[in-house]
Amino acid sequence: MIPLNKLTLILASIVLVYCATSVASDEEELLSFYGDEEFVSIATGISQPLSKAPAVASVLTSKDIKQIGATDLDEILETIPGLHVAHNAVGYGSIYTFRGIYTESNPQVLMLINGVPLTNLFIGDRGQAWGGMSIESISRIEVIRGPGSAVYGADAFAGVINIVTKNSNEISGLETGARYGSLNTKDVWLNYGHSGEKLNVSASVEFHKTDGNDETIPADAQTFLDTVSGTSASLAPGEVNQQRENIDARLELGYGDFTFRSGAQIRSDGGLGIGLAQALDSNGQVSSKRYNTDLTYNNPDYSENLGIKATVSYLQTSQEVDDDLILFPPGSRGPFFTPLGAPIFPPFPNGVIGNPEIYERHSRANLTSTYCGFDNHEILLGTGYYYGEVYKTEEEKNFGIDPATGFPILPGSGLVDVSDTPLVFLPEDNRENRYIFLQDVWHLANDWELTAGVRYDHYSDFGDTVNPRLALVWSTRHNLTTKFLYGEAFRAPSFAETRVQSNPTVLGNPNLEPETLKSYEIAFNYRPTFDINIDLNLFHYKWEDIIQFVSDPGGATRTAQNVGEQDADGVEIEANWDITEQVSLLTNYSWQNAEDQDTGADAANAPEQQFYIRGFADLPNQFDITIQLNSVMDRNRSFGDPRSDIDDYTTVDMTIRKRFYGEQLELSILAKNIFDEDAREPSLNTIPVPAIPDDLPLAGRRIFGEIRYKFN
């Protein structure tokens, strides 16, 4: 006889199997009207169809983001061919290196959130206290490799990264989650979405706190200063300071053709990585407050052939000091020497301190219309206005000249406030930009389409620039598309490069021209079967008028000049293969060879080769697993750097997820760099010796546990 409890179990199993079949049959029937689940999402408005761009673009959806097991934006971007996320010494700030274009402050990349640029005026990046970005509110990330200035304007130069946040269709009711793991890293998030009859609402709040990477720096800038000034002040060997606390909050309201968005990105208690002057600083902490709001009217069917989109946006950013930034540690005599090489000052008892703060505002208005009234032409016409200002700069320091006395501030003195004096690090100033752009998509013949676009920009400070692009797209075969692309781009000189006059060694140049880029590409998209997609891109570009600080006659100062030039060729190949409905493989390989035309040497620091592969399997019992491998290879030193080339590294990550109660509850384990690879990003070459000789170590093995729950 079967025991009662076993019988119950068998009955329960039968009921469960029956129920599962019943649900599956309903879903299967629905599926047959749409073909596949992806189209169910598109047809019901849950996700957007991926737009076809006549550029080399990658789109990563929230599904990709989960497969990657990402906890921060940079982990997603690292998976894109031709893009490597390097870091600089100041706060381990991200350097998005596209196709060999590597600079410390990385203003050659345009990053947008929902189409609104995040570019700061000070050094043209996302802000030195950027602090990373949580990803739970991200719907998808669109990345264009190569120039995009003909549409996006300034800084769409090496690449464009547009982050699109989730709307009410993508969040049903209330969803929450938390993650905890290595380096005392905590994340908590809450998303809410409701699609009403007229009003659609979505909101998200994300909280992130971490002690951050704590790898050891054996020697820093102060180590060298100690040897030449007879001190022993350096904190090296010591740990990197990468702690931070982040809050991201977003609200989106949709009403008919109008969308209102507002958001805040608050970064606080941010460690300085290695330090503002490449000397370890365990005291300094920075914060950044970024508030944005925008209103968009988008009506693609304004009239029979006319579509209109209008956007106004406002972004306010700050870089603030929470705790004194110690450029050189207590006991240091600073980098101040007589021409004969003797230290000028006795040791600074509290260290050399500088606390620069900067506050910016950015207002934009943009109007774009599309017109399809002419046979075989789609016209895009747009115009816009930008006003940005550094409305406040503040600085306290315990070195340099005291503006009240005109004499040097001596070691042991307190902090002197140099705000609102000519000695502040950057004067307050503004910039205006007006622009107009026109693009025509012309269907030349049955299988040929030509996109021709041009944009004219006028800047209040550096004048005019015109940037064209051409894209010829040929549907070569039923499963092969070939694209021939030409584009030009410009990078607006930053305020640090044009307006700084108070720095004793580095001077801005108000006569700078923008950096320019001309790019030629051939791209192939081949789909040998429905389940395999292969992309191959070949590119060549010329990057000119690169802004560098050049020694002035006399040698005491360096001034920003348009002097550099870099040429590059490269290849990117990527492939996706849906092996079965449950198993998929994605891989890409990039190779580039860039040459610095001034020195004739290969361009430094950016990887010449990158390889990435990701396997995903949807296992029985609601399990899924992802394993990914990322190799960063062949990074050269800059010309004159005595060190051997930077070691290659390969990291392997793994994510395991299990879903319960349908998909209501999900538990995951995320393991990063599971083989504890010694991965390093290059440090700057400085004269007379590299300040951080052993480069910037990245975090080793990390493990996180994650829980997600949907209240519906």
Partner 1 sequence: MSKQNEHQYYLPWIAIKTLKIVIFSVVFSLTVTAVPSPALSSGIVILYPEVRKPYSKIYEDIIEGITEQNQNDTNSMAIDPNQPFEYYRGSLTKLAPDTIIALGQKNISLARELKPDVPIVAGGIIKSTENVAGISMIPDTGAIIDKLILLYGEVRNLHIVTNAKKRKHRLEIVGNYANDKGINLIVHDVETVQAAANEYKALLADIKQHDAIWLMKGKAISDSALLSKILETAWKKRVAVFSSNPTHVKRGALFAIYPNNKKLGASLAILATKTNTGSTPSTTLAPLTDFYTVLNSRTSRHLGISIAGNIRAEIDSVF
Q: Does 289 participate in binding partner 1 (rule CB under 8 A)?
A: yes
Nearer to partner 1, 376 or 460 (CB): 376
Q: Does 663 participate in binding partner 1 (rule CB under 8 A)?
A: yes
CA–centroid distance for 584 within its chain: 26
Of 186, 194, 558, 658, which one interacts with partner 1 (CB under 8 A)? 194
Q: Does 507 participate in binding partner 1 (rule CB under 8 A)?
A: no
d(CA 38, CA 163): 21
- Positions in 33-52 near partner 1 (CB under 8 A): 33-37, 39-46, 49, 52
CB of 203 to partner 1, least distance (A): 5
CB of 171 to partner 1, least distance (A): 10
Q: Does 552 participate in binding partner 1 (rule CB under 8 A)?
A: no
Q: Is there a contact between 125 and 105 (Cβ–Cβ < 8 Å)?
A: yes
Q: Which two tokens stand for residue 550?
A: 């050049």
CB of 268 to partner 1, least distance (A): 6
CB of 376 to partner 1, least distance (A): 6
d(CA 669, CA 116): 34
Q: Does 518 participate in binding partner 1 (rule CB under 8 A)?
A: no
- Positions in 5-24 near partner 1 (CB under 8 A): 15, 18-19, 22-23
Residue with tokens 């050189």: 328
Give me the half-sphere count of Cα atoms (radius 13 Å) on the Cβ side of residue 698: 24
Nearer to partner 1, 197 or 464 (CB): 197
Q: Is there a contact between 320 and 334 (Cβ–Cβ < 8 Å)?
A: no
Q: Is there a contact between 495 and 426 (Cβ–Cβ < 8 Å)?
A: yes
Of 367, 334, 366, nearest in space to 352 by CA: 334
Q: Does 464 participate in binding partner 1 (rule CB under 8 A)?
A: no
Q: Does 583 participate in binding partner 1 (rule CB under 8 A)?
A: no
From 107-115, 125-133, 154-162, 320-328, give the range in contact with partner 1 by CB under 8 A: 320-328
Long-range contacts of the stretch 338-343 (C-beta < 8 A, 24+): 341/228, 343/228, 343/229, 343/230
Q: How far apart are the first and last CA of the chain?
A: 42
Which residue type, as a one-letter code, is found at position 211? D
From 145-153, 472-480, 512-520, 645-653, give the range in contact with partner 1 by CB under 8 A: 472-480
Dihedral of CA atoms 344, 349, 352, 357 in degrees, nearest 10, equals -150
From 244-252, 422-430, 495-503, 548-556, give the range in contact with partner 1 by CB under 8 A: 244-252
Q: Does 623 participate in binding partner 1 (rule CB under 8 A)?
A: no
Which ranges in 450-552 belong to alpha helices (H)?
A: 495-498
- Positions in 44-103 near partner 1 (CB under 8 A): 44-46, 49, 52
CB of 250 to partner 1, least distance (A): 10
Q: Is there a contact between 571 and 523 (Cβ–Cβ < 8 Å)?
A: no
- Positions in 204-223 near partner 1 (CB under 8 A): 205
CB of 475 to partner 1, least distance (A): 5
| DSSP 8-class letter at 160 | E
CB of 192 to partner 1, least distance (A): 4
Nearer to partner 1, 32 or 338 (CB): 32
CB of 698 to partner 1, least distance (A): 28
Residues 520, 565, 146, 87, CA torsion sign: positive
| Count of residues touching partner 1 (by CB under 8 A) | 75
From 2-10, 27-35, 637-645, 679-687, give the range in contact with partner 1 by CB under 8 A: 27-35
Q: Is there a contact between 163 and 143 (Cβ–Cβ < 8 Å)?
A: no
Nearer to partner 1, 258 or 374 (CB): 374
Q: Is there a contact between 571 and 563 (Cβ–Cβ < 8 Å)?
A: no
Q: Which two tokens stand for residue 423?
A: 């000695």
Determine the 3-state secondary structure of 221 from DSSP.
helix
Of 53, 178, 183, 190, which one interacts with partner 1 (CB under 8 A)? 190
Q: Is residue 681 packed enough to be buried (19+ CB in 10 Å), middle (13-18) or exposed (0-12)? A: buried
Q: Which two tokens stand for residue 658?
A: 């299990």
d(CA 204, CA 221): 42
- Positions in 253-282 near partner 1 (CB under 8 A): 264, 266, 268
Give me the half-sphere count of Cα atoms (radius 13 Å) on the Cβ side of residue 286: 28
CB of 261 to partner 1, least distance (A): 14
CB of 174 to partner 1, least distance (A): 5
Determine the 3-state secondary structure of 578 from DSSP.
strand
From 28-36, 489-497, 560-568, 690-698, give the range in contact with partner 1 by CB under 8 A: 28-36
Nearer to partner 1, 29 or 464 (CB): 29
Q: Is there a contact between 126 and 111 (Cβ–Cβ < 8 Å)?
A: yes
- Positions in 155-174 near partner 1 (CB under 8 A): 169, 172-174
Q: Which two tokens stand for residue 376?
A: 């075989």
- Positions in 290-309 near partner 1 (CB under 8 A): 304-305
Determine the 3-state secondary structure of 554 from DSSP.
coil
Nearer to partner 1, 172 or 557 (CB): 172
- Positions in 355-374 near partner 1 (CB under 8 A): 357, 372-374
Of 94, 243, 287, 566, which one interacts with partner 1 (CB under 8 A)? 287
